[in-house]
Structure 1
Amino acid sequence: MKIAAIGGGVIGGGWIARFILNGHDVRIFDPHPEAERIVGEVMANASRAYERLFQAPLPAPGKLIWSASIADAVEGADYIQESVPERLDLKHKIIAEIEAAAPPSAVIGSSTSGFKPSELREGAKHPERIVVAHPFNPVYLLPIVEVVGGGAAADRASEILTSIGMKPVQIAKEIDAHIGDRLLEAVWREALWLVNDGIATTEVIDDIIRYGFGLRWAQMGLFETYRIAGGEAGMKHFLAQFGPALKWPWTKLMDVPDLDDRLVNMIADQSDEQSGMHSIRELERIRDDNLIGIFHALKANDWGAGQSVAQMENRYYARGVTAEPGYPLRLHQARVGGSWVDYNGHMTEFRYLQVMGDATDAFLIHMGLDEAYRGQGLSAYTVETHIRHLSEVAAGERITVETRLLGHDKKRFRLHHSLLREDGSEVATGEHMLVHVDTNAGKVVPMQDVLLAKLAEIEALDLATAPLDHAGRGIRELRATEAAA
């Protein structure tokens, strides 16, 4: 699939990063004199975030291709993301240039936060293929995207964006500023009044959000949160109890404070005092790490945005990573992060096990034990592990895992993982015995034929390769020593 990006600022750069990190080449046009630096810094933060967010092996990143013109960028494109400044006249000019060079079948998605599709389509040759695809920052992490415009183009855009881990929400009726920004503007407008009237500082307002309802919103949104607030009687009770308060003059949502120099300077000074000790790039990394922690918690509970992470990981596992054709299987790679090393600067023991566990998960998907299979209440549990530590590994190194199937029967199988540096030298090996279980009954049961057939196919490959002299030896020797004692 050919992707083009017109505009590489905060939002455009986030789109570029998400497409590239999901394996797509992106042609970009941005006349800004520092566009390459800005996009490069966004890419660096996005790559750092992805390696922390996903356990699954990531696809090989796509290429970033700089174009000298809009025409060059969009030639032959299947999907085009426009992210230029919020000026309707400018967007009309850019869309006209896109349409003059792009294939008629190309879908054009606009990142606009305020303009309606009907406004963007004015004067277009193929208006039906222009849709709003409005994301939220950081685009490479936050999955939601508002898709407005309807028709085949909206469906195609949603399909493409889903494939890169987004959660498209198609909005049936167009409205200024769509949905997300209208909600944000209501909170923003009230916050400006609170600062203007000397009731709160920027830090106080941010603390109330991030230590309070912001945590609830991150995982349950607005209506589900209030459903709980209604107690056992639910939403009807909540509305009956708190609905009358909506008529009280608590807010100033219909008025906007005058953003004169006094208020602008007050907000800027308070913001500098609150966060000025960090650069923008540092704040972005702090934000990303916090979001990743929330995503991991939500993923563990199979809830909200965590479901988007889990779905994307399943796609990555299903895709697999095969550095070379043939056998042993290469299904997982990992880069050693800074948090993976100890005081000696070497990868800690439990990270070896994590890499092998991730490689085992990749193998399970490869053999057919995927999300659909697990949905039947069946899975595989590791019951025995033996690791040999052969070499030290430093932060920043990339590890490739070679996996062999050492044998299987109807209820169990044994895997061997070899962790390799980029030069091919062996870092560690691990052996893992897994049993097939009925998770509902809590007992070992025979595998279904689809898994047994795949295991037989893989085992035939292993039997054709040289045996491993150390395979199983450590555990056998340990048991013999214990028996003798």
Structure 2
Amino acid sequence: MSTSTNKKAAIIGGGVIGGGWASRFLLNGWDVAVFDPDPQAKRKINEVLANARCSLPALYDRSLPDEGTLTFHDDLAKAVSDAQWIQESVPEQLALKHKILAQIQAHAPSDCLIGSSTSGFKPSELQQGSIKPEQIVVAHPFNPVYLLPLIEVVPSAATDASVLEAGCDLLRSVGLKPLVVRKEIDAHIADRLLEAVWREGLWLVHDEVATTEEIDDAIRYGFGLRWAQMGLFETYRIAGGEAGMEHFIGQFGPALKWPWTKLMDVPELTPELTARIAQQSDDQSGHMSIRDLERLRDDNLVGMMRALKKSGSGAGGTINDHEASLPEPMPMDDLPVTGDRQIPQSWTDYNGHMNEAHYVEVSAQASDRFMEMIGADADYIANGGSYFTVETHVCYLNEISAGDHIRVTTQLINGEGKKLHLFHRLINDEGAVAATVETLLLHVDIKTRRTSEPGGVVATNLAEMAKRHASLAKPDQLGRAIG
């Protein structure tokens, strides 16, 4: 039995999806045990994990938990022992899944849920012949599992509601968005929608209306961008204008009877059509390796999801909820840690270094966190008081690159009267100060838009913080000016 105090997930099947599951749990602090007889499983999972380490932490403005321990096992029984979550991701063959699920249940803890990554089978089909059918649910993810939050969770009539909710809470704890499918149905929800688009795409290539690249362009330059934040029905609600969805359906509903689509028919995938699709796909993106395409995909997803994070729309809301649950960092060098994060690729410039604007962004986030610590939080601001930045000075001491992990400490230089004079240090994993940011803020009465002195809990907390920081040495860069 492991001596680790971490929770443990067992991943059965180490392909692309299994590797994504392993990365998602591992980077959220879980120990992960992998069982896969493929001799290449370790290499494949470590390659997926390398991409995940670059991208998943970059979604957050807080540090994820320390990584758990990753182990590989030749013995399925050892892999699943003591696991709180078991994820089966073997090939989509029902007989094989029955065989593996039976082996899992023979050795798994009795109170552990077993999720299947199946994209098509219903849970009742997976549960056939099971010694404990209520233990098995569909937990269908989307690639890359370590980035995309959606998990379709499909119970059957045998599934206990309280156990299902506990399983969903567990998935939320690693930053996922469980979508409980209320009725069993082949291919669940998302893949049925994707299948419709895929069928149309095949016909458009078959009939030589469009190439694979042109079809992808129609999606990625158009409705794909809308779907990322609003989905299907909310997009059409807006299309209905002020009159809303009822007007949209009344106006465009009759078109559904027109012969626009071939949803109930599929072109025969002849060798000729398959070769045409493959060649067009090679022409489109064959100049890049699969790993390069994955990294490009991940960088783009991080950028889009961080944009959604700012508004809380779509996947951004899931990231915000998960980030709020992450633990606060411990103080360093007798100073509060006001930032603890990985640098996303989108923050870097043509030299591969963090752009100047983001040093100021990091310091602004640190100032906001310091304000929260002294009581100038959202409620305080809502009641009419806040601090406004009036001056900032950055000293660049060491390069910061995409993927680097930094912590920010904040020293209170002066908190008397209307002034809030702060000094932030950006510290890398080697303990070196990569940059310093000195900033001066003034307390403002938001109603009058004039400076004012803070009162109540903010003034009290500032006085206490000033006492703690009074004995600290003044920073070397304090009071610096250009030249």
Work out whether the TM-score is over 0.5: yes
Q: CA deviation at 1:378?
A: 7.1
Work out the percentage of aligned pairs sharing the same amino acid: 52
AA paired with 2:85?
Y
Counterpart CA distance in 2 for 1:445 and 1:168 is: 47
Counterpart CA distance in 2 for 1:8 and 1:292 is: 24
TM-score by structure 1 length? 0.86
What's 1:482 paired with?
A: none
Counterpart CA distance in 2 for 1:256 and 1:162 is: 38
For structure 2, which runs of at least 5 residues remain unmatched after alignment? 1-6
Q: CA deviation at 1:272?
A: 0.9
AA paired with 1:290?
N
Partner SS state of residue 60, structure 1: coil
Q: How does 1:254-269 map to 2 (within 5 A)?
A: 254-269=264-279
Q: CA deviation at 1:314?
A: 3.0
Is contact 1:314–1:371 with CA below 8 Å preserved after alignment?
no
For structure 1, which runs of at least 5 residues remain unmatched after alignment? 479-485
AA paired with 2:20?
G
Q: What is the RMSD of the two structures over their aligned residues, measured on CA atoms?
A: 3.1
What's 2:360 paired with?
A: 353
Partner SS state of residue 58, structure 1: coil
Q: CA deviation at 1:259?
A: 1.5
The answer on 1:19 being equivalent to 2:22 is no
Distance 1:206 1:402, change over 3 A: same
The answer on 1:168 being equivalent to 2:168 is no
Distance 1:188 1:454, change over 3 A: farther
Partner SS state of residue 393, structure 1: coil
Q: Once the two structures are superposed, what CA deviation does each residue of 1:186-227 show, in whole Å capped at 9, x if it has no partner? A: 111121122122222111211111122222212211111111
Counterpart CA distance in 2 for 1:423 and 1:81 is: 36
Moved more, 271-280 or 152-161: 152-161
What's 1:7 paired with?
A: 13
Q: How does 1:86-485 map to 2 (within 5 A)?
A: 86-149=92-155, 151-316=161-326, 319-322=327-330, 327-334=334-341, 348-364=355-371, 381-389=388-396, 391-393=397-399, 395=401, 398-408=405-415, 413-434=420-441, 458-463=465-470, 465-468=471-474, 470=476, 473-474=479-480
What's 1:481 paired with?
A: none
Moved more, 290-299 or 378-387: 378-387
Distance 1:282 1:375, change over 3 A: farther
Counterpart CA distance in 2 for 1:377 and 1:90 is: 63
Counterpart CA distance in 2 for 1:93 and 1:371 is: 54
Is contact 1:154–1:170 with CA below 8 Å preserved after alignment?
no
Q: CA deviation at 1:185?
A: 0.5
Distance 1:416 1:344, change over 3 A: same
TM-score by structure 2 length? 0.86
Q: Once the two structures are superposed, what CA deviation does each residue of 1:47-90 show, in whole Å capped at 9, x if it has no partner? A: 11134433323332222122222211111111111111111111
Counterpart CA distance in 2 for 1:189 and 1:89 is: 27
Is contact 1:148–1:154 with CA below 8 Å preserved after alignment?
no
Q: CA deviation at 1:126?
A: 2.4
Partner SS state of residue 278, structure 1: coil
What's 1:56 paired with?
A: 62
Partner SS state of residue 254, structure 1: coil
Distance 1:180 1:341, change over 3 A: closer
Counterpart CA distance in 2 for 1:110 and 1:374 is: 47
Is contact 1:6–1:82 with CA below 8 Å preserved after alignment?
yes
Is contact 1:193–1:257 with CA below 8 Å preserved after alignment?
yes
Counterpart CA distance in 1 for 2:89 and 2:275 is: 29
AA paired with 1:322?
M
Counterpart CA distance in 2 for 1:337 and 1:364 is: 25
Counterpart CA distance in 1 for 2:148 and 2:36 is: 23
Counterpart CA distance in 2 for 1:4 and 1:364 is: 42
Moved more, 333-342 or 290-299: 333-342
Q: CA deviation at 1:179?
A: 0.2
Q: CA deviation at 1:427?
A: 3.4
Distance 1:23 1:262, change over 3 A: same
AA paired with 1:462?
H
What's 2:3 paired with?
A: none
Counterpart CA distance in 1 for 2:225 and 2:449 is: 35
Partner SS state of residue 407, structure 2: strand
AA paired with 1:229?
A
Counterpart CA distance in 2 for 1:263 and 1:251 is: 19
Moved more, 421-430 or 403-412: 403-412
Q: CA deviation at 1:257?
A: 1.6
What's 2:52 paired with?
A: 46
Moved more, 429-438 or 237-246: 429-438
Distance 1:291 1:339, change over 3 A: closer
Distance 1:315 1:195, change over 3 A: same
Is contact 1:346–1:392 with CA below 8 Å preserved after alignment?
no
What's 1:483 paired with?
A: none
Q: CA deviation at 1:112?
A: 0.9
Counterpart CA distance in 1 for 2:130 and 2:377 is: 45
Is contact 1:386–1:432 with CA below 8 Å preserved after alignment?
yes
Counterpart CA distance in 1 for 2:196 and 2:171 is: 28
Counterpart CA distance in 1 for 2:62 and 2:84 is: 27
Counterpart CA distance in 2 for 1:221 and 1:191 is: 20
Partner SS state of residue 81, structure 1: strand
Counterpart CA distance in 2 for 1:232 and 1:367 is: 45
Q: CA deviation at 1:435?
A: 5.2
Distance 1:426 1:214, change over 3 A: closer
